[in-house]
Amino acid sequence: MPLPPSPTAAAAEDAPGLRKIIHVDMDAFYASVEQRDAPELRGRPVAVGGSAARGVVAAASYEARAFGVRSAMPSARAVQLCPELIFRRPRFEVYRAVSQQIRAIFLDYTPHVEPLSLDEAYLDVTRDLRGIGSATRIAELIRQRIRAETGLTASAGVSYNKFLAKLASDQNKPDGLCVIRPGEGAAFVASLPVARFHGVGPRGAEKMAGLGIATGADLRRLDLATLRQHFGAQADYLYRAARGIDLRAVMADRPRKSVGAERTFDRDLSSGSVLRETLETIIDLAWDRIARADASGRTVTLKLKFRDFSAMSRARSVAAPIATRVALAEVARGLLDQVLPLPQPVRLMGVTLSALDEPGQDADAGATAPGQAQLPF
């Protein structure tokens, strides 16, 4: 059973001069590209995704977000919230091209770039290629170049570990920069709602609220044994996160095992026609994530969880990599048809693409040993 970090480890994480990590996150990436390429859309609420009754919002501009429109929201609901919403079909080939431009900018400063999707990445600039030394200055330069070379804005977070850098990049969105310096992490985390922690979803936040946990400070008051009692395998992560501790290295070109999406329904579903229609929504959500990751793969898995919480999965592998939504949908529909009619109503459905055709790299790629940073943060 893992032990909590020793006081020495925690102190080392907060000590100056360990690592310099930047998290860069493009602002409303898909929607911003559409507004850039169609000037008549600028300043107007835009959603990227399907506008049909069973469509899903893949991305929303900040003008649309002001009305409550969010990614993964059913398009019908988005239109209810914002009747003036303008839909655009995704242009993934354009988004990939822009992402490659942005990736090239990152690589001008460090080879240690860990892409999370087309629109965000971690950079380890503990030793940067240009000898600038200041992670804050590098983040400023990267944001300036992204604006100048792509016409888009990016937000960035700068800190001494990945967890804090990601929190920081979301702090001053859009078009913002936030720096959490060595020694400041624990205090920064203490003031945040636990819903801001990566991996704490709506249900997790609701469970924490029932335990009287609203902020990082509340979470920090619980010992590891109590956290394990209530949160199981997630306890060790929560223990460290509440203290601003994250020892993960930036992993350049980290290989993915799978990409997909799943949804738990408000009510259990049993009708074959409803399940087929719902599957299309799940495929849309899964394909959005697959496209963001710029991934292709050969195995499609359909996951179903029933009313009694038992689960069923069916998978099919194909000879050629699945590189389009049409191909993904064809396989996923076939898997659902194989299991219909179902033995009982379904409460969750998921679609995943695996056996990905992505370049792997040694597990130590991109890691920077502690103690290398000697220049200002």
Backbone CA torsion sign across 31, 92, 90, 168: negative
CB atoms near residue 349 (< 10 Å) = 22
Residue with tokens 């850098």: 165
Phi, psi of 124 (to 5 degrees): -100, 110
> Per the residue annotation, which of 13, 63, 120, 184 is the catalytic one?
120
User: Residue type for 148, please?
Assistant: A
Q: For 344, how many CA atoms within 13 A lie in the half-sphere containing its CB?
A: 10
119 is in an annotated binding site: yes
DSSP SS3 for 21: strand
Nearest to 47 by CA among 58, 36, 39, 38: 58
25 is in an annotated binding site: yes
DSSP 99-160: HHHHHHHHHTT-S-EEEEETTEEEEE-TT-TT----HHHHHHHHHHHHHHHHS--EEEEEES
| Structure letter (DSSP) for residue 244 | T
Q: CA distances (Å), 165 to each of 121, 161, 198, 250, 355, in order?
A: 11, 6, 12, 12, 30
Residues 313, 303: Cα–Cα separation, whole Å: 4
In the residue annotation, 120 being an active-site residue is answered as yes
Q: Dihedral (C-alpha) 6, 8, 10, 13: value to the nearest 10 degrees?
A: -140
* Residues that are catalytic: 120
Question: Binding-site residues, please?
Answer: 25, 119
Sequence ranges of the binding site for Mg(2+): 25, 119
